[in-house]
Amino acid sequence: DTEVTQTPKHLVMGMTNKKSLKCEQHMGHRAMYWYKQKAKKPPELMFVYSYEKLSINESVPSRFSPECPNSSLLNLHLHALQPEDSALYLCASRPTGVNEKLFFGSGTQLSVL
């Protein structure tokens, strides 16, 4: 299994809603990432988990709350989002070690109304 699976593929939510994005991998990777990509822009790093502990938070607003319940799962909890948070949210995982590539999921396209 060489896939990173993200659900849902599409999500529409209101500004008062609470929703969660889910990411799963069974490749034994111990580093997992959340990226955000707006149209015609490069992916921007949000969070990195290493061995289930948050190691990087790129000054992301608290309305985004990551969680890594175990080595295979990564969640992104969303609350009180703004319309400008509409974007493609990408999950990735990476083997530990030097010079390893990231494996990306297909993303969740989020629209905030």
Q: Which residues in this chain contact other proteins in the complex, by CB under 8 A?
A: 4, 6, 31, 33, 40-45, 48, 50, 55-56, 88, 90, 92, 94, 96, 98-107, 109
- Between 81 and 91, name the residue whose CB sits nearer to other proteins: 91
User: Shortest gap between Cβ of 12 and other proteins (angstroms)?
Assistant: 14
- Contact in structure between 17 and 111 (CB atoms under 8 Å): no
Q: Distance (Å, rounded) from C-alpha 62 to C-alpha 59?
A: 9
Q: Count of CB atoms within 10 A of residue 51's CB? A: 11
SS3 category, 15: coil
User: Shortest gap between Cβ of 16 and other proteins (angstroms)?
Assistant: 26
* DSSP β-bridge partners for residue 64: 78
- Between 72 and 80, name the residue whose CB sits nearer to other proteins: 72
User: Shortest gap between Cβ of 70 and other proteins (angstroms)?
Assistant: 19
